[in-house]
Structures are given as C-alpha cells and as structure tokens.
Amino acid sequence: MLTSLAETLPPGVIPCGDGKLRWSYTLNLWRQPIMLYTALGATSGVAASFGLLVCFVRMGMDGFASGIGFLWRYLLIAAAAVLLIMGLSYLILCLLYKGKYTMQFEMDEAGILHTEALGQQKKSRRLGVSAAIVCTATGYSGAMGLVAAGQGFYSRFAQVRVVKAVKKQNLIRLSGGFAPNRIYASPEQFDFVWQCIIIRSPKGKNI
C-alpha cells in the first residue's frame, strides 16, 4: 500500500484512509501558459490539415497555381483567426481564475486520477463557450479540458506506455489507455511522485 510510506512522504502529499495518496498543485496561468501552447499547437495542426486537403482538391480541379494561391491565403487567415480566438479564450480563462488554476491528484497501486479542484467547478461552468472553443479543437489539453467539461483524467498504471518527466514544468506526462494524462507535482514532491509512477508502470517507457 502506498499509504504505508507515510513516514517518507514529501510535504503536501497526504495519505488517506482509503489507501490513496492525495495532493494538489496550483498552476500559475500567467507564468506557465502551457495550456495555451498546447491548444495553439493542436488547433494549428487541424487548421493546416484542412487547408492542405482543400489545396489538393483545388489543384485537381483548377491546376497547381490555383491550389497554391488558395493555400497561402488560407494559412494567413487561419493563423490570424487561431491566434485571436486562442488568445482571447486564454485571457478570459486567466481573468476568471485570477491567474491560478488548482488541480487535485489521487494515486493508489492501480492508477492515478487528475481532477479539477471542487471550488473551481462553478467557475468552469461559467467559462462556457470560451473554453469549449479551445478544448473542442484540441481534443485533450490537460487542465483546459477540465475547465471545459469539469471532468477527470484517469491513468491505469498497467496501461501506461510512456512516462515523460518535464521537471522544469513540474510535469509528468503519461501516455497509454484511452487518453494522455498530465500529472503535476511541486519540486519537493516531484521525484517521489515520478518514482511511484514508473515503478508501478511495468509497460511504461521512461523518457
């Protein structure tokens, strides 16, 4: 049981009676715009793929020059639209949460759950359309997805295929199962959480 490690737990990691370890992490949305970068990357990829598809259709119908002409105009307009929508959505998010977004984590021998702090669920519902624009385009964007849907992300250790530590961002990325997951831990908690995950992920590749 993980709770048997109570004497060696780092500050802020709490052993609970149900056999789980729990902790929280507050993300500074102004200093760590990780969610914005993720949303921009995913949305730009979707927009570019659509533009290329239409470009090839135009080439087949009207010739090479017509297709290329359409593509560069489309990319300019799409880039401006993506930057505007993502920027405004993220600004609204930051203002609504006063620059801080708190996530909660719970871990046992079977897996780890990433959820939104209870006190922020009403704010998530109020955010509404602005967050939905971002999250619908990205499919999954960590906490942004939580803001839009108020849901949790669970990773079963037996299904984890990749464990990637990004220590500068206090982030551990898990891939495998139905959806990727992002686990945050403070600097004093990070090594402990990371070790617990890789030890219990027999199929996970540590990178």
Higher pLDDT pick, 151 / 113: 113
Instruction: Evaluate if pTM is beyond 0.85.
Output: no
pLDDT of residue 1: 60
> Does the pLDDT at position 64 exceed 70?
yes
Average pLDDT value for residue range 190-207: 89
Whose structure tokens read 């079977």? 110
Whose structure tokens read 């897996």? 111
Spell out the residues 6+ positions from residue 67 whose beta carbon is closer than 8 angstroms to its own.
Answer: 55, 56, 57, 58, 59
Average pLDDT value for residue range 49-61: 85
